[in-house]
């Protein structure tokens, strides 16, 4: 059996462990099916993925938008809090434990957002976070939502903020 690969320069390959794992799984499926034998006709036994591997955790899907109370609950459950505002807005007050990636940089830095955790995107009022959510979903992250009302709603609900860089 001969496998051929070609690279389309107009469409660069995706980088990252997840893409590599998917490619490896696809090649294994092709080789198993082409070689015949029991592996080609029987489903493999289920095995647990290695801890820390991209397939180890399959975060539950999230609605497009959530409120502050749900954001607080998700944060407590370990969600990745992503702030897409500008650095000066961030310094004026942000959610403790959140990560700052300004919206204008998000598409090129999407690999910095963990794919194995639920992601809550936050901005000032909810407009940029909805755009950020869509960028991350388009980049293949499986579980991303936007916090409606943004930091305005967060502080309005009496939730704590951290100031400074």
Query: Does 35 participate in catalysis according to the annotation?
Result: no
How far apart, in whole angstroms, are the C-alpha atoms of residue 131 and residue 45?
41
Distance, in Å, from the CA atom of 45 to the CA atom of 48, rounded to the nearest integer, reads 10
CA of 133: how far to CAs of 28, 69, 104, in Å?
A: 33, 18, 13
Inter-CA distances, 96 with 28, 31, 103, 106, 165, Å: 43, 48, 19, 20, 11
Residue carrying structure tokens 């997840």: 18
Q: Are the CB atoms for 113 and 80 separated by under 8 Å?
A: yes
Q: Which of 68, 81, 122, 123 is catalytic?
A: 123
Tell me how far the alpha carbon of residue 22 is from its chain's centroid.
16
Residues noted as catalytic:
123
């Amino acid at each position: 059996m001969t496998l051929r690969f070609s690279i389309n320069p107009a469409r660069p390959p995706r980088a990252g462990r997840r893409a590599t794992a998917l490619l490896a799984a696809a090649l294994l499926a092709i080789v198993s099916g082409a070689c015949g034998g029991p592996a080609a006709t029987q489903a493999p036994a289920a095995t647990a993925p290695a801890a820390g591997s991209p397939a180890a955790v399959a975060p539950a899907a999230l609605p497009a938008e959530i409120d502050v109370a749900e954001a607080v609950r998700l944060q407590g459950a370990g969600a990745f809090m992503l702030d897409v505002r500008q650095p000066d807005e961030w310094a004026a007050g942000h959610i403790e434990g959140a990560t700052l990636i300004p919206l204008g940089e998000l598409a090129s830095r999407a690999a910095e957002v963990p794919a194995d955790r639920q992601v809550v995107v936050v901005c000032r009022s909810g407009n940029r976070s909805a755009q950020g959510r869509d960028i991350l979903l388009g980049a293949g992250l499986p579980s991303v939502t936007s916090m409606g009302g943004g930091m305005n709603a967060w502080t309005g609900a009496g939730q704590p903020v951290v100031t400074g860089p």
